[in-house]
Every structure is written in C-alpha cells, then in structure tokens.
Amino acid sequence: MTPTATDAPTPSVPLPEGVRLGETHGVPALLVTTPAATAELLLDGAQLISWIPTGEQDLLWLSPDSAFGEREAVRGGIPLIGPWFGPGRDLAMEVKHGWLRNVRWELVVAEREGDEVVITLATPEDVKALTATARFRLGAELSVDLTITAGPRPLELEAALHTYLAVGDVRRIEIHGLEGAAFLDNTRGLVADVMPEGEPLRPTASTDRVVDSTAEVTVNDTQNSRRIVSTPRGTSKTVVWNPWDALVTEMADIPDAAWSDFVCLEPAIAKDGYVALAPGDSHRIGVTYRIER
C-alpha cells in the first residue's frame, strides 16, 4: 500500500527534514526518506517494516496477508518481542512473545545526523509493569536498540528483535557465524543439539533453533547476490526460524507460497539466557545490519 498522509496524527515532537508522520497500511507510521535510505516505522509495536538503503532491495520481508492496527501482531519487519519469548521460559504464557508488539508506542524524539535519521519511541505512560524505549538509527546501515526497565517488581526478562530478513530463496541461503554452537531445537521439543563445526547452516526443512551464540552472523543470499551482516549486542542467544512448506499452511497471515521468501534471524535473551532485573534496573539488546555485495 502506498503511504499517504490521510488522517495522520499530528507529531508530538518536531520532525527533521526527511521524516514525516503519515500512514501506511491504514495505520500511523513515521516515513523516512533521505539520500541514504527510505524506511517505514509503525507506531503500533514500534515496528520497523521497511528499510531500503539507497541502491538496494528492502532488508525486511513483510507478509502481504498481515493484519495491521492496534493490538495486532504485524507479520514481518522487526517485531519487538518481550517481556517474554514464545510461551515464556515455563511454557505457560498463552499469548506468544509478550505484549510489547501489541501496544501503540509514543514518539519521543526524531533527529537528523547527516544522512542518518535517529528515532526514539517509548511505551505509553499508562503501562506500569515496565517501561521500554526503542531507538532506530536509519541510514546506510540500520541499528535497532530496545531498552527495557523493570517497574516496581523484579522482572525475569526475555526479549528479542524478531527480524524477518527478505531473501531470494531460503533453500539457497547460507548462515555463517553459528558453527559449533549449542542450540535448542524447537522442531523437536527443545531437544539440545550442537551446530556442525566448520559448516554454515543451510536450512532444508522447518527450522526453529535457539542458538547459544552472540556472534556476528552473515546470511549469504545467493539468489539476490548479497550478504546480510547482523551484529548483535546485549544478547545471549540467536534464534533462526522458518516454518517451511507444511507449517506455513497453519498461518493465516502468511501466503502458503511465501515461506521461501524470508528467514528470521533474531538477536535474543531467552530461555536460560534471560536477564534478571531488580525493580528499576534496565537491560538493552540491539543489532546493526548492513548489506554487502
């Protein structure tokens, strides 16, 4: 859907050149156009759904069947996951991946630094259990940082940047940087396993691995003739996910034929890599992406 300014809210803070508050997919969004990149950032969930550095294809995949709007979980882009991951460490949470992606965030500041734009969003004031800020640096590279601060009670925090990377064909990619790392295989009931030494991950079936790694990861996207480099910080795990052809049929918001168009590569703190926060304490996870040819 082409972004428009129809019925867009008035920005709460001044916006620099190259940033405007408009609408995309019928919901409010910050729309960025600079010599370095274009981007679309939803206020709902503080969810970046597009980042296109000049001369490149979009880093991010967005499902054409995704729902949009308050309390909807948008399928694609970079959903912000927390304060728990999946069903939680004890597998007891009915709502998967927490509620950060299901509330409308507030614009705190938007600044221009050369050809880069830096935007900070925060959870609304009526959220009391915790506070969170999300900072996006949008330029020739993309950096995303999520900071979560515990409220009046201790918090055993899980969080992730659930990035959907657009690829030409997931069956033809190679994921470098996770070799030899231990992982939990969620396609086999979280069975413990180890990635092969000296060999990149080449997905061949439904993949859902919580990898014990904080290393830089490179996705070699051969069909698009590009490499996507993911440099995490403040993390304990790297999650790799794709539903493949059978499981995708159970997902109403992904076309059955679209499963090969993306891979999720997620910097995370999850499972035994959670972070224990005392009241008022904070933790930040982040990632920087760049595209290489």
pLDDT tens track for 141-172: 999 999 999 999 999 999 999 999 999 999 99
**What is the average per-residue pLDDT within 5-32?**
86
Closest to 173 in 3D by CA, of 247, 243, 223, 208: 223
Distance (Å, whole) CA 216 – CA 236 = 12
Measured in degrees and rounded to the nearest 5, phi and psi for residue 73 equal -95, 105
Checking if the pLDDT of 186 tops 70, the result is: yes
Q: Measured between alpha carbons, how far is residue 218 from residues 92, 228, 232, 272 in Å?
A: 33, 6, 11, 25
Q: Measured between alpha carbons, how far is residue 107 from residues 39, 102, 247 in Å?
A: 16, 16, 37
pLDDT tens track for 42-91: 999 999 999 999 999 999 999 999 999 988 999 999 999 999 998 888 77
Structure tokens at 244: 């493949």
Closest to 130 in 3D by CA, of 152, 162, 110, 112: 152
pLDDT tens track for 204-229: 999 999 999 999 999 999 999 999 99
Q: Count the Cβ atoms, other than its own, within 10 Å of residue 253.
A: 14
Closest to 193 in 3D by CA, of 178, 172, 175: 178
> Euclidean distance between the first and final Cα of the chain, in Å?
29
The pLDDT score that the predictor gives to residue 89 is: 83
Specify the DSSP class assigned to residue 247. H
The pLDDT score that the predictor gives to residue 1 is: 40
Confidence (pTM): 0.94
pLDDT tens track for 228-281: 999 999 999 999 999 999 999 999 999 999 999 999 999 999 999 999 999 999
pLDDT band at 194 (very low <50, low <70, confident <90, very high): very high
The helix (run of H) or strand (run of E) holding residue 42 is strand 37-42
